[in-house]
Amino acid sequence: MVPHAEKKSVAVAGSLAKAKSGRTVTMTDPAGFWPDEKLFPRLPSPAFLENDSYTSNALAEVLNRATHASFAKVTKGLSPTSLIAAYFDWLIHLACAPGKQVQLSEKAIRKLVRLQHFMLECAASQGHADACIEPLPQDRRFQAEAWQQWPFNVLYQSHLLAQQWWHVATTGVPGVSSHHERVLEFTARQLLDVFAPSNYVATNPEILARTLAEGGLNFVRGFQNFLEDWQNEAGGKPPAGAEKFRPGQEVAATPGKVVYRNRLIELIQYTPTTETVRPEPVLIVPAWINKYYILDLSPHNSMIRYLVGKGYTVFAISWKNPDPGDRDLGMDDYGNLGIIAALNAIAAIVPDEEVHGVGYCLGGTLLAIAASAMARKPRQPFRSLSFFAAQIDFEDPGELQLFIDESQVQFLEDMMWEQGFLDSKQMSGAFQLLRSSDLFWSSNMRKYLLGERPGMIDLIAWNADSTRMPYRMHSEYLRNLYLNNDLAEGRFEVDGHPVTISDIRVPLFCVGTDRDHVAPWRSVYNWNRMTDTEVTFVLTNGGHNAGVVSEPGHHNRHYQIATRQHDDLYTDPDTWAATTPSREGSWWTAWTDWLDAHSGEAVATPPMGNAEAGYAPIIDAPGTYVFLK
């Protein structure tokens, strides 16, 4: 028998034990065991003490985000955690794969024998021998004749053989996730690029020859180039020579008027140059990662000027460069304040006419989302849609996907959370790594070791005129599109309802570029697979920007073009590329022919703006937002 008081003590002790175990406990004392609460107030329930306070949660979040943001400033937005995870995934699985280890050992011995045989041939032929390995087609570092002389041919052949071996070592390891495999293979390639013989004075015959010929003056010029670049970078100035391309004068100079402005866009209507125009106006939706005038560069390569000259009424969106006060602008704001607002203005200026929508890069993705949502409306605003290097399926967006995983996205979100936006300079680490041998090492070698300052062109100057991206919008874009691929899989919501690309029924004109590292053409080609309408697909040579800015008369331009009707069977991209004939020249001419075929007969030119409807001209093009830094 246990005394009554002892029973109560046991009960309380048991309750405390239960509380420590994490279960909810209610302490009762019907017999009055607990002392007078006025003298001895009850302590809070132990379970309550285990709950995190609001202050604790907030402090933890701030500490986590601030730490990530500090690291991001050093790494230019690249997450070291993501790289470390990929490395250990590869290392552990390689340690458990003896067959792969044997294979790598055999390949290492065979490559060493090949290199020794090459060296013997060089000795027998006084330094000349056939290469045992050829560089990849895009690798132009060792093209100079001087690289074929001993000992430099041995140096670069050794580098290429090591590069090939490491590619085999980092791929095909059983058990490694495909994402980690791509990340590690890419990272190993970047590390090898650091030690390429082309990067160093003693192992680069071009630098040695230039130094001997000029008595070292190339290093003097190179140091001057370095100081100039450092001063420009530190002072937030554009690169040397970019000042020659001023918006409104040398570039973005097509005459027009800003006819509408809100907190996010200026809508520019361009002055007609023909007596009559096609009845359907053209609305250009550019990406917001750079200024809008990628399609209005110099007069000779301005797509906007070209369209105006072909008899089209052209409108273009000029996005505002967001500041910290715009941190909460999201994808829905870019749709409503951007595309919807622009369409409303165009409907007032050119009433009762459908619109030819044109989207470039991110602007094309946004235009596709808006068109999918408006496809459910009784009246469609679009006559046709054209998309340049614009993705709707992000399942395989090329090497850029290497920097898009949960760790990387969280890293970028924390960096944007601290400052309210993402500066394009903070993304430069990822974009330079995509083509480090061209964009970083070779470029720096020529500027700082050879003492050459490459001439500035309008496209490079435009690329340096970058913009920021709001915290909320970019986070939504990365998570919903790149990370989760919600648009392609029918989960992306507009106004609370999921939208699907297959709802678009107007004719499409889609352009991919064969050397695009941002929107690979096979990913862009998925317009053919995901739509149920007429799709004309073009594959042109060039990169993400240079392939689009491909005006008539541009040298060495060619393209492939074919149209798939809505009821045609699907053709995979590689088969399409192998069976579609190539055409010489600019794809712009094929596009305007396509626009003509989907437009009405010419009519009188519309007025510039519509003051009565609230769209009076405000200021001459290119407006004011293009100048915001």
- Catalytically annotated residues: 361
Between strands 603-604 and 276-277, the pairing is antiparallel
Q: What are residue 266's DSSP bridge partners?
A: 261, 318
Rounded Cα gap, residues 286 and 342, in angstroms: 13
Nearest CA-CA partner of 616 in 626, 625, 608: 608
| Cα three-residue angle 145-149-155, rounded to 5 degrees | 105
Q: Encoding tokens for residue 212?
A: 């001997």
| Cα three-residue angle 209-214-218, rounded to 5 degrees | 85
Q: What are residue 537's DSSP bridge partners?
A: 510, 562
Q: Which helix (H) or strand (E) holds 357?
A: strand 355-360
Which of helix, strand or coil describes residue 616? coil
Is residue 458 within 8 A of residue 298, CB to CB? The reply is: yes
DSSP 241-286: TGGGS-BTTTBS-S-EEEEEE-SSEEEEEEPP-SSEE-SS-EEEE-
Q: Encoding tokens for residue 82?
A: 């993501």
Is residue 318 within 8 A of residue 622, CB to CB? The reply is: yes
Nearest CA-CA partner of 307 in 271, 360, 266, 264: 271
Provide the 10 A C-beta neighbour count for residue 102: 10
**Burial category of 162 from C-beta neighbours within 10 Å (exposed 0-12, middle 13-18, buried 19 and up):** middle
Q: Encoding tokens for residue 130?
A: 């056939």
Q: Encoding tokens for residue 492?
A: 């992306």
Is residue 429 within 8 A of residue 402, CB to CB? The reply is: no
The residue type of 557 is R
Q: Which helix (H) or strand (E) holds 115?
A: helix 98-124
Is residue 524 within 8 A of residue 514, CB to CB? The reply is: no
| Cα three-residue angle 60-62-67, rounded to 5 degrees | 100
Nearest CA-CA partner of 246 in 298, 321, 305, 308: 298
Is residue 539 within 8 A of residue 510, CB to CB? The reply is: no
Rounded Cα gap, residues 559 and 51, in angstroms: 64
DSSP 277-344: E-SS-EEEE--SSB-GGGGS-SGGG-HHHHHHHTT--EEEEEE----GGGTT--HHHIIIIIIIHHHH
Cis-peptide, bond into residue 322, ω within 30° of zero: no
Reported in sequence order, the residue ranges of 464-569 that DSSP labels E, i.e. its strands, are: 468-470, 493-494, 497-498, 508-513, 535-540, 558-564
